[in-house]
Structure 1
Amino acid sequence: MRPRKLDQPRSWPFIVGAWFLRPALVMTTKRDWIDGLNIPATGGCVLVMNHLSHVDPLTAAVFTHDHGRLPRYLAKSGLFRNRFLGIFLRAAGQIPVERASASAAGAYAAAVEAVNAGECIVIYPEGTITRDPGLWPMTGKSGAARIALETGCPVVPIGQWGAQELLAPYAKRPDLFPRKTVSIKVGDPVDLSDLADEPQDAEVLAVATGRIMDAITTIVEELRGETAPPERFDLKKARARNGRPLEDER
């Protein structure tokens, strides 16, 4: 039973997804969904989540849909290059992001426009599946903070755990049985009110992004019953040490 009725009109990808995706997840997962009604019922908002697996955008989409909102993701542009997947994603209103290029500004503008139009945007601030050895949230990128400060919308932290058991990070074959428990918990909006009138310079964005990642990490700690490492894993620094490209191409 859905916790909140969806009042928004659905495009055909969401109808198709409801027919196939939701029953598939019911058969293969046990859902531990907590405080989903903390997602605003109406109005523009940004949902920020930790990223564990290629499958967790699907579990998160069902979670968001079942709490009365249609999610719009900022997704890697590479996904849109597949002909059929690209058609599906564009019809669902998903926003392609060309990282490390001038086109990233277009994605930011599209996200701001969507929030101002009252839509629900989902962002993974880490930018990719976590590389932390313990699968804890990494340092975040500033996109979610920028959108929230630009629009004044609520930025709602969500922690999740268990999707990596269904599909391990970067694995191609899921482990469907026995059924895996996927836990998703929604926290209270991150308070950025004291930063609203500040210039959106690097220092302010770093503070806002740090608060967002702290809120997500606190929720993940609750779900795992563990304490995160005192220092958050920084993928950019790790790649610089190893002499690897700083942007994730996968």
Structure 2
Amino acid sequence: MPRRRIGFWYRFAAVIAKPPLVVLLKRDWRGMEHIPAEGGFITVVNHNSHVDPFAYGHFQYNTGRVPRFLAKSGLFKKGFIGSVMRGTGQIPVYRESTDALSAFRAAIDAVERGECVAFYPEGTITRDRNGWPMTGKTGAARVALKTKCPVIPVAQWGANELLPPYAKKPDLLPRKTHHVLAGPPVDLSRFYGKEMTAEVLKEATEVIMAAITRQLEEIRGERAPETPYDPKRERIEQRRRTEAQKQGRVAAVEVSRDAAGPSGRDAAGEPGRETAGQAGGEEGLGK
């Protein structure tokens, strides 16, 4: 199966992006031998900085197998950036719309044509406070099980030191090192032939994320947490904490009102003192 030609737009993007990347980041790139020379495959990569798609793209470009990233559809509408995204063959992701599955169909088609598709399974920059990979979304597993293509786990570290997650300004000095370690293909053969239920996709995704995490452990020389950060679980816990706080404030106001009596006077017949919540007006109820 032929490999995808790099083409004008990718070369043009490289001319623009590579010089600043070379100036800003030293390189420690390992595992290029695991990138298939021919045929379709996917790479699964951790995400810890707004800069790392460019830094990782530089690594992959130098292997000769340029990736097609899944990217937010809005980027394709941004003038020059949109032209580059379309020209380099990136895949738009239409979230929460009737076109939401079109990205997966496009990814499958690309792999079957012999191209490389790059996935950030976390779906966004990690929210783990120490930069470890979070739980992943199932898109990469879905494409991998559908096509039975090689799945190459790739970990990266260092772009997040140049531009920390959600930071507004880069930390330019001293010059940072971009570490990349690509590993051998993830073995997903145990899932082949099974119906792609939510549970199967979840288990396959866990195998993929574990492989990425092992690569990052080798780069960093330390162990990741036993349980990865789960943003969905965190959102549920946050809602529970918020609801408990609201209920606690309402209960406190009701107790204060009961203590003041029905006429608003205390047991001695004097006007009841304002509670902290009443004195603060609506702010006492959490606004």
Common fold by TM > 0.5? yes
Give the whole-Å Cα distance in 2 for the aligned partners of 1:208 and 1:197.
Answer: 13
Give the whole-Å Cα distance in 1 for the aligned partners of 2:74 and 2:171.
Answer: 25
Gaps of 5+ in 2: 241-287
Give the whole-Å Cα distance in 2 for the aligned partners of 1:19 and 1:83.
Answer: 19
Comparing 177-186 with 211-220, greater Cα deviation is found at 177-186
2:65 pairs, out of 69, 94, 107, with: 69
Q: Name the structure 1 match of 2:277.
A: none
Q: Who wins on radius of gyration, i.e. which is larger?
A: 2
SS of aligned partner of 2:210: helix
Asked if 1 retains the 8 angstrom alpha-carbon contact of 2:46 and 2:133, the reply is yes
Give the whole-Å Cα distance in 2 for the aligned partners of 1:94 and 1:174.
Answer: 26
Comparing 169-178 with 71-80, greater Cα deviation is found at 169-178
* 1:36 and 2:27 are equivalent in the alignment: no
SS of aligned partner of 2:44: strand
Amino acid at match of 2:217: E
1:86 pairs, out of 82, 88, 96, with: 82
Amino acid at match of 1:169: P
Give the 5 Å matches for 1:95-174.
95-174=91-170
Asked if 2 retains the 8 angstrom alpha-carbon contact of 1:47 and 1:155, the reply is yes
Gaps of 5+ in 1: 1-6, 245-250
* 1:235 and 2:218 are equivalent in the alignment: no
SS of aligned partner of 1:96: strand
Amino acid at match of 2:6: R
Encode CA deviations 1:166-208: one digit per residue, 9 max, x unaligned: 1111223222232101100001111011211101111111111
Amino acid at match of 1:136: W
**How far is 1:41 from its partner?**
0.9
Asked if 1 retains the 8 angstrom alpha-carbon contact of 2:71 and 2:91, the reply is yes
Give the whole-Å Cα distance in 2 for the aligned partners of 1:45 and 1:185.
Answer: 17
Give the whole-Å Cα distance in 2 for the aligned partners of 1:23 and 1:84.
Answer: 19
TM-score by length of 2: 0.80
Give the whole-Å Cα distance in 2 for the aligned partners of 1:18 and 1:78.
Answer: 22
Amino acid at match of 2:27: R
Asked if 2 retains the 8 angstrom alpha-carbon contact of 1:28 and 1:178, the reply is no
Comparing 72-81 with 184-193, greater Cα deviation is found at 72-81
SS of aligned partner of 2:193: coil
Please state which structure has a larger fraction of its residues in helix: 2
Structure 1 residue runs of 4 or more that deviate by more than 6 Å after TM superposition: none
Amino acid at match of 1:43: G
Give the whole-Å Cα distance in 1 for the aligned partners of 2:8 and 2:231.
Answer: 37
SS of aligned partner of 2:184: coil
TM-score by length of 1: 0.91
Asked if 1 retains the 8 angstrom alpha-carbon contact of 2:13 and 2:84, the reply is no
- The alignment yields a C-alpha RMSD, in angstroms, of 1.5
Amino acid at match of 2:61: H
Give the whole-Å Cα distance in 2 for the aligned partners of 1:80 and 1:193.
Answer: 35
Comparing 235-244 with 178-187, greater Cα deviation is found at 235-244
Asked if 2 retains the 8 angstrom alpha-carbon contact of 1:70 and 1:120, the reply is yes
Aligned length: 238
Give the 5 Å matches for 1:171-182.
171-182=167-178
